[in-house]
Each structure stands twice: as C-alpha cells, then as structure tokens.
Chains A and B, each alone.
Chain A
C-alpha cells in the first residue's frame, strides 16, 4: 500500500517537473536565464519599492553580501577559518575615510600643489584636506586591504583549524582597538566625520539611498563574477585541494604558501572595497562597526547560505541582513497591532530586532539540524549511473588503448646522464625511533 502510494507520488512529481515551464528551457540556458532574472529584479527594485528606508536596507544588505563573498573565498574555497574578517572591512573603511574627510589636515605648502591640480587634495586657509575620489579609492582600498591580508596571513600559514581561527580572531580584535587608539587618523571612538559622499560627473550622491544601492549592485555583481571565474579555474581547484587535504595538495604540486596567501589577499581585497562603499554610504566610521560580532555575522551568513557556494552566500547575506533591518521591524509592528487587537500587554511591547542574536542562533541551529549544506549547497548531487552503465563491460584499458596525448610521459626523453633516481645514505628519525637507516635506492 505504502509502496503504491510512494510510486504514485514519485510519478506525479515527475509529471509536475516535466510539465513545469522550467522543464521546457534547455538545461544549458537555465543558469543564464536565472542570472538575467535576478539582475532585472535587482535593477528594478528601487523603481518598484520607492521607499527610501527599504532601499537603504537593501543597500546595506548588498554590502554584507559583498563581505560574505570575500569571506567565502577564504573559508569556503580555501578552507581557512577566519574569525577576524571584519578587520579587513575596517582597513578598507578607514583607508577611504582618511583620504576623503577632514580628519588628516597637514599644513599647506608648495608640495601639495601638484596634488591639488590632480584633484586629490583641496586647501582651506592654510591646511590641506584630502578629497580623493571614491572611484579611485575603491581599488586603492582593495589593494591596501589585500596587503594587510598577506601581512596577517603570513604568520598563520603553518596553522590550521582551531589554531588558525584563534589567531585570526586576535587580528580581528587588534584592528578596531588600533583604530580606537589612533585618533589622529581615525578620530578614535568618536568616529570619522565629514566623509565625502561619492560624486559622479560632478553630481554628489548625498544621502539619497538609491545611487548607493546601484553602486552596491555593481559591486556585488563584480564580486560574484570574480568568485565564479576563480572557482572554476586552476586557482579555485588549488584552493579546494588545500581545503580538502593539504598534504595531498602539496604532493600534487600546489604551492601551499602562495595559494593560501592569494586566498587571504583576494578575500581581504573584497572586504577593503566593501569597507570603502560602506563608509561612503554611512559617511562616518567608528571602531564599533568592525568588532567581533560583525565577523561572526558574516560567518553565519555564509554558513546559512551554503559555504563555498557563490550564489548561496549572497542569498544568505541578503536574507539575514534584510531580516534584521527590515522584516523584523515590520513583524514587531504586526505583533503590536495584534496585541492591541486582543488586549495582550506584552505582545504590544515585543521588539524582535533587539533579540537578533537569538534569532540568528535559532536559524543556525535549525540549519545545522536539517540542512547542513546551506540554502544553495556548493556541490550538487550527480545522478547515479544507470543499470546499463553500471554493468557495462569493463574495457581493459592499459597499453592496448591508443594514446595520443600521453606521449612525453616517462623518462625516455631525459637528457641527463646517470640513474633517474638515486637515494644515498638516507636516514630518517622520528624522535628515538629510527625509521630508515642509511638506505640506498637506485632507479636506472
């Protein structure tokens, strides 16, 4: 009975799948159409919404999507657990902040004249202040953050797992503390003031959320593009090999030092550019914006979305950020309204946004229990072999096969004289144990 029911269910599912409009699109076109729909939706959103607060929430969510993409390179691709990722966000933010605000004001002198002519500085009275363009600072901040990524990454190269996490946690704590205690550059806990808004052809973005939203869309699109291209390349494969088995990766010719540092640098560059975007949008920066909870939140976003999955982490970041800044407030309003309707006092005072950490925790536990691979898993299941494929005759392969590319294999083309491999007097000790004693081995 149950068998029949399951069979019928399976059949109807198959029928539904076949009848749905998606099934009529060629499988190769489906991802492209999906991307096109998401792009159109993202571009039309401000036109449809017309609510500045919502557009502002979406622009913030895009910043976090960009951060999640960057952390995904380090944690998702290369498998290096980084608990201090917000440090690079801070470095990017303060790099722009310092060069586009009234914070650093050296005395005016002839030295600054060429810079003034280039538009990088302006002078009011006898002091200089920096007015470097936002568009120029985006790549510069990314490069500065990448430099610090390599700097922080280098001492952690020999560490993995828990130890790596603790050291990165340390760096994540150091950067905001340095920012707080360097008031000459960062204005300390008071926060930078007067960070310039971006300008495009002489038109300042000001405080309207819509232009920032579009910059955010462009930034996230660029980072998605970068992530997907890298993931499917030689570099992405090397990162995943290091993630899966570091020793084997090294034995297969992957330079661990180089590729780990590359992951740190690219991940940090993403955060640096995002920091610039975020500060330009907020027009201030305080050390509190980059503390440990931010690093954890980005990590939660990528775990929620699907660690290692480019579209997954974007979705995870957008959902959690919009939940926090937009949906929870609406939900609180509805609960207040419901409380008034049914005369329940406590329901009228519920503030869901203030218990966001608890809600994140519940989401995370639920995900770990029921969908550990995240919303959009990084790997998709491959269809099992059919019965005929499984029982197909096993060809003998081997030398009977006609190889046309395997030439160059082997030692026949070598020029050097002498044996191919000569091991002499090899002794290996593990503590007191002599594993090998003066072993000789020659391969002609």
Chain B
C-alpha cells in the first residue's frame, strides 16, 4: 500500500485493528466480521501490526517486548503464576523458546541483545524488535507500517529479503512503504491511496504507469508532461 503523506494509509491500519472507530464500513477477517472489536480481540483473531513511529515498551528488554507479543497465545492466570504450576512453567518455557526463534529471523542482530533494554537499541534494531513482537502472536496476517523507515539501503535490502522469507513461509503481509524499490520487489499487488481515497490498484508495474498515481505523487503538470 502506497500513497503520499497524509493520504490515510496508517489511518486505514488503525481502523482495521480497532484503534480508530470508523464511521461506516465493514471489515471481514477470514470470513468473520471484526469491525468495532477492541484491539486486543483483533490481535486474538490473528492480525498483528507494527506502528509507523514505533510503539515499543522502551523500559523493557528485547525478549520481554517479544514475550508481550506472545501474550494472547498464553493462558497463565494469577493462580498459575503464583504457584508456578507445571503447566504454566512449561508454557512460559515454550514461549521463551518461541520468542528466541523469532529473534533469530533477524540473524544475530537481536539475539545477542535479547536482555538489553529496548531504549538502548539503535533505530533499525527497534524496528526489527517491533516486527518480532508482532510475529510472536503467530498472526495469520501481518500489517507492517513503513518497516524500513530510517534504515540505510543495505539494511533495507536485508529486511526486505526477511519479509519476503516470512511471506514464503505462508504469512500474508500488508505493507505500507515509501521506498518504491522495496515495493516493486515485495508486492504482488499495490494499492494507492490519496486524500483518503483509493485511486489505483494492481501489479507494481501497472500502478507505476497509472496517470492518477503520477498526478498524486508528482502533481498535475508532471502527469501531463
């Protein structure tokens, strides 16, 4: 999904995940309506997201952040936590293993820093933690809001291939992205938003030649020329 700044891309994400209440409209996820569900129920159904301007838990460690992403898939209650029942302990151990494996998606970028506080991490690593946190909930659909923002070209390519890899594992991904080379490389289908309206949809190549899209990005005169 692409579009100029302020065209409503992040708002659409917020509306889908229940952070913003839409005036009208219907959202169906895997055949069931999820419109107007609270955000935690949306994640529970299998849709996880990241945020454009990073919403990590800065005072907690990398592993804790990712473990919180796993929250909805765990069931330990107060009694289980208090008595460390065998079931809760096993669940906790498995969750930790699972989260470590998700960190391994990013090679050794995050693994050595698993016990570091997130606020001590570089910007690119924080973006990776946010993706890992979303992945920890075992989503069916992943919404990524500008995952490569603030990354240099090499890091961008690295992340793009990792996202591609996740997609090949069977995970559906909706991506908001400004870097067109990444879009062309990753996207099967591109949706273009401008001023809150969808102006084009299609393969990356088709969208690139679309006149409406050119006008939205470059202005009227450029499109005519």
Q: Which residues does A use to contact B, with CB under 8 Å?
A: 226, 229-230, 233-238, 240-241, 243-245, 247-256, 262, 266, 379, 382, 385, 389, 392-401, 403-406, 408-412, 414, 416-429, 434-441, 443
Contacts and interface: CB of A to CB of B under 8 A. Distances in A.
Interface stretch (B56-64, B178-186, B204-212, B213-221): B56-64
Interface in B88-104: 88, 92, 97-98, 101-102, 104
Contacts of B222: none
A426 B49 contact: no
A248 B51 contact: yes
Nearest to A389: B112
Sort A-B residue pairs by CB-CB distance and give the 5 closest, nearest first. Answer: A399-B165, A253-B72, A410-B170, A395-B107, A233-B81
Given A394-B108, A441-B191, 9 more contacts: A253-B43, A385-B113, A395-B107, A395-B108, A399-B169, A419-B28, A420-B140, A428-B196, A441-B198
A244 B60 contact: yes
Contact of A396 (B15, B84, B158): B158
Contacts of B161: 396, 398
Contacts, number: 263
A398 B102 CA distance: 10
Contacts of A235: 76-78, 81
Contacts of B11: 428, 435-436
A399 B24 CA distance: 39
Nearest to B61: A382
Contacts of B40: 250-256
Most buried by B among A252, A398, A403, A421: A252
Contacts of B191: 441
B27 A435 contact: no
Contacts of A234: 71, 74, 76, 81, 92
A421 B68 CA distance: 25
Interface band, chain B: 35 or more
Interface of B is mostly: mixed
Contacts of A435: 8, 11, 196
Contacts of A421: 16, 27-30, 47, 141, 172, 174
Given A234-B76, A397-B106, A438-B197, A427 B23 contact: yes
Interface string B102-118: 10111111001101110
Contacts of A255: 38, 40
B44 A253 contact: yes
Given A249-B68, A439-B197, A397 B24 contact: no
18 contacts: A229-B82, A235-B81, A237-B67, A243-B59, A248-B57, A385-B112, A389-B112, A397-B162, A397-B165, A399-B169, A400-B165, A401-B105, A410-B172, A420-B30, A426-B12, A426-B15, A435-B11, A439-B196
A248 B130 CA distance: 10
A409 B19 contact: no
Contact of A254 (B25, B60, B71): B71
Contacts of B74: 234
B24 A233 contact: no
Contact of B168 (A385, A399, A420): A399
Contacts of A382: 61, 115-117, 120
Most buried by B among A229, A253, A401, A412: A253
Contacts of A436: 8, 11-12, 15, 22, 196-197
B36 interface: no
